[in-house]
Structure 1
């Protein structure tokens, strides 16, 4: 196996023939347009579909984060504890991760369009029911059902990208998709804080229901089927009868070393991110005396960090891939997409340490927010690169591998958000985030094994 770090021999650089899938040339330039093959569609049609899918993905994490600033109001209305309210957030995030283990393999058998349309419709229905609930039990039940169908965009998005895009287009599409995914939680707490203060927490659900209804209509009329099966003539209903979905098998993809190690690394960072944002309202109200609407504004640096991380990943991932391919004598390896993580790791560690100790010593607010910005930027840079790598390395099962990555991240997010208050009360802010930095470093180191041995592992199946 060629060493991914191998350099070009001295002397004149040989003329290399770079494979088609690593060039900057769009696939449509060399392939005749074929209506049933999404890879030959014009770019505007691809990006219309990608926009709708990304918007659905946005609604998932937006729905989980938008009522974080409203936890106190929801607790008071239902006369319950803050632990119960935080648990509804945690289990919502858990269902965001688990549900795609069913939806992704299903979409690889019967197609993606109707799963998208049906999923966003049911998301809208359960969002309305959350908004009108007056009973705590009913509210929790409808909230969990909302979480199941909020996962549609995240569960199927990687598959749709693999269906439509090739080469450089694909890495940019993943970045665009991840930007949509994280733009939701980036703006959700700020939006949620103002809506809760001026309209009441129920309008969090009414506004989401309006957006969901519009998205349902847009998907019904404009979203295309992207799963191209040229040798399959079986009618849809017959395919539906023969469906076999095994979520345990899908989750078992984590046993493949390249998938498991990559997912474990980014899930660790994502878990600490959820602990950070779950504790954020109490942290800044205790330490700095902020009100609910102002606390919502404090999430903005994290949103900027998340968005910039996805954008930077889109700008540099394919360039690094092409450069390393040339240095590897023209042989492309999917592992080259992981190279920019060497930038992410120092930022992850610095961000955690700056944030934790700035709060612990009640330093200037902007110092803590700078650490928050660094950490979120590096977290989203890592997640975007990991999804790009998984799509490229496992094209045939792209929806499933991206779903299992989402699943493990959300499991970590669930556990860390449930334990957020306990960990902070036990360790204090400084040592909480020092512990976070140590664990992130430990779980990112095995990515070196993926870098050197990933191609051989994948060759073994």
Structure 2
């Protein structure tokens, strides 16, 4: 007897990966297993395979009953099998166990964002050492983002089919190797290559950690852990320049990467020791192997085997192709995916643009050194923390005052629709106050305003696409991720030209105007999103459920 072939949509980015489990439960077909005692069997008979679904991870699952149905009544065997069957659903883990797993993952996601921003503060000494231009230096940000965008397309399907654990550990090793390479390289080309390697390793933590949250928490319980995950990303982008500014001035630019390497190595060790497998389909296969081993070691009834209903998919190039093709199809045909991707991509591009623009503006206007420029990024950390607290506390408040409205995906757009306006406000504010006649605290506060807006957009994008597309959410989020990484890699390359050509007030006004236009997206979807989803072949099926 063989398990039915289940091929759900590939999971590419954080947030909807546990939907694979939902789809598997919906598509699985339970076949009755004939009761065949050992005395009735011939040696040449095929093994009796008992298929287990995800409900076998629940506490109600009792393998001893199945043993009795097949004529195995030995008490010792029953005890050993029961012990082997203790592996349970990650959803049912204790809070302490979930927090232990997430602490390492959140540390890693924070370091991934840290690595993106820390590089920027090495600009002055590296440009002087290798006699390269600002654009050439910023190409290191672009190659980092290239690795950030490419690696998850391959590793997300691998982690989905074969588990998170070794993908996370292997990515940590890659992250560490790339960071050490950045520290010791003596050539500009070597720096670009190592930055790409760093991006590949760091990308897993920045993208798949959200999937770990989805593995551990049901949708209604994810708001707080997802807000904390987003905080680890956003705060990391501020901590990188904050720490590295002082390091460059007092220890030299290579220590920017040596310190990162120490932190990455420690975090990888923590993940190796404390991280546990969270993919339910992988845990189920592990449980089946444990039960089969217990039966084989304690009885001659090896003809009875337990097997997961979800076949282990073999990794091949077609999986990678689907990882690219279907998200592009959604991007081209689904207006919700397109406009949400445009909104989130612009916000992410501004975040990466800040790695260059803050240093340029504060050195030029206020004469700041690297340590002082790094200190400006405190605004990013504080803004991220405020945004996280707002995200955590706004959920119960909005449910209290608009309970019926909050049951729909559109209801969750109201708070971020308000907070996202802080992005264009901050851009106008920064551009028009970055002058010698205005105290430096004013553009610094503007950066905090932008950060709150970016945080709300990032979190809203995950929540709305995951709620709206359900089984296709992974591909919708992947489309958004591709757009985000593309713009984030391009914007730093022309930051200098824009700021010098349009002046600071002109650049702030242009970007603020674009941001203001895009801020209309959540409000349009809040009022018309359900009608738009009703016309979608991918999201329309869910309209009646919300």
Are the structure 2 counterparts of residues 257 and 105 from structure 1 closer, same or farther at C-alpha, using a change threshold of 3 Å?
farther
> Equivalences for 1:119-138 in 2 at 5 Å?
119-138=171-190
1:398-456 Cα distance to aligned partner (Å, 9 max, x none): 55544443332222222211111111111111111111111112223233343322442
Among residues 348, 353, 362, which one is paired with 1:270 in the alignment? 348
Report the 3-state secondary structure (helix = DSSP H, G, I; strand = E; otherwise coil) of the residue aligned with 1:80. coil
**Partner residue of 2:404 out of 327, 336, 340:** 327
Residues 1:374 and 2:458 are matched in the alignment: no
Residue in 1 that maps onto 2:245: 193
Give the TM-score, by structure 1 length: 0.85
Distance across 1 between alignment mates of 2:326 and 2:231: 25
Equivalent residues of 1:352, 1:433 under 8 A apart: yes
Matches within 5 A, 1:2-21: none
**RMSD of aligned Cα (Å):** 2.6
Cα distance in 2 for partners of 1:321, 1:403 equals 29
Equivalents in 1 of 2:422, 2:208: separation in Å? 30
Task: Encode CA deviations 1:348-367: one digit per residue, 9 max, x unaligned.
Answer: 23211111100147412122
Counterpart contact for 1:358–1:367, Cα < 8 Å: yes
Aligned 1:96-111 pairs, distance under 5 A: 96-111=148-163
Are residue 254 (structure 1) and residue 331 (structure 2) matched?
yes
- The answer to whether the 8 A contact 1:109-1:239 is kept is yes
Structure 1 residues 348 and 80, CA gap change in structure 2 (3 angstroms): closer
Residue pair 2:147, 2:196 contacting (<8 A) in 1 also: yes
Unaligned runs of at least 5 residues, structure 1: 1-30
- Alignment-derived partner of residue 453 in structure 1: 529
CA distance in 2, matches of 1:231, 1:173: 24
Is 1:114 the counterpart of 2:195? The answer is: no
**Which residue matches 2:73?**
none
Q: Do the aligned partners of 1:96 and 1:407 also contact (CA within 8 Å) in 2?
A: no
Deviation at 1:237, TM superposition (A): 11
Query: Which residue of 1 is the match for residue 79 of structure 2?
Result: none
TM-score in terms of structure 2 length: 0.73
From 198, 218, 222, give the equivalent of 2:274.
Answer: 222
Deviates more, 1:315-324 or 1:80-89: 315-324
CA distance in 1, matches of 2:106, 2:470: 19
Contact 2:172–2:202 (CA under 8 A) maintained in structure 1? yes
Whether the aligned pair in 2 keeps the contact of 1:56 and 1:152 (CA below 8 Å) is no
Match of 1:312 among 383, 390, 393: 390
- 1:46-91 CA distance string (max 9 Å, x none): 1222222222211222111112121011112223222211111122
Per-residue CA shift, 1:142-183, capped at 9, x if unaligned?
121111111011221222111110244211111011111112
Q: 2: CA distance between counterparts of 1:70 and 1:453?
A: 45
> CA, structure 1 residues 128+448, in 2 after alignment: closer, same or farther (shift >3 Å)?
same
CA distance in 2, matches of 1:460, 1:89: 41
Instruction: Provide closer, same or farther for how the CA distance between residues 204 and 240 of structure 1 changes in structure 2, counting only shifts above 3 A.
Output: farther
Q: How far apart, CA to CA, are the structure 1 residues paired with 2:399 and 2:279?
A: 26
- Indicate the structure (1 or 2) with the bigger Cα radius of gyration: 2
Q: How do 1:194-213 residues align onto structure 2 when only pairs under 5 Å count?
A: 194-213=246-265
Matching residue of 2:39? none
Please tell me whether the aligned partners of residues 321 and 337 of structure 1 are also in contact (alpha carbons under 8 angstroms): no
- Name whichever of 114-123 and 71-80 sits farther off: 71-80
Q: Given the alignment, which residue of 128, 137, 150 partners 1:85?
A: 137
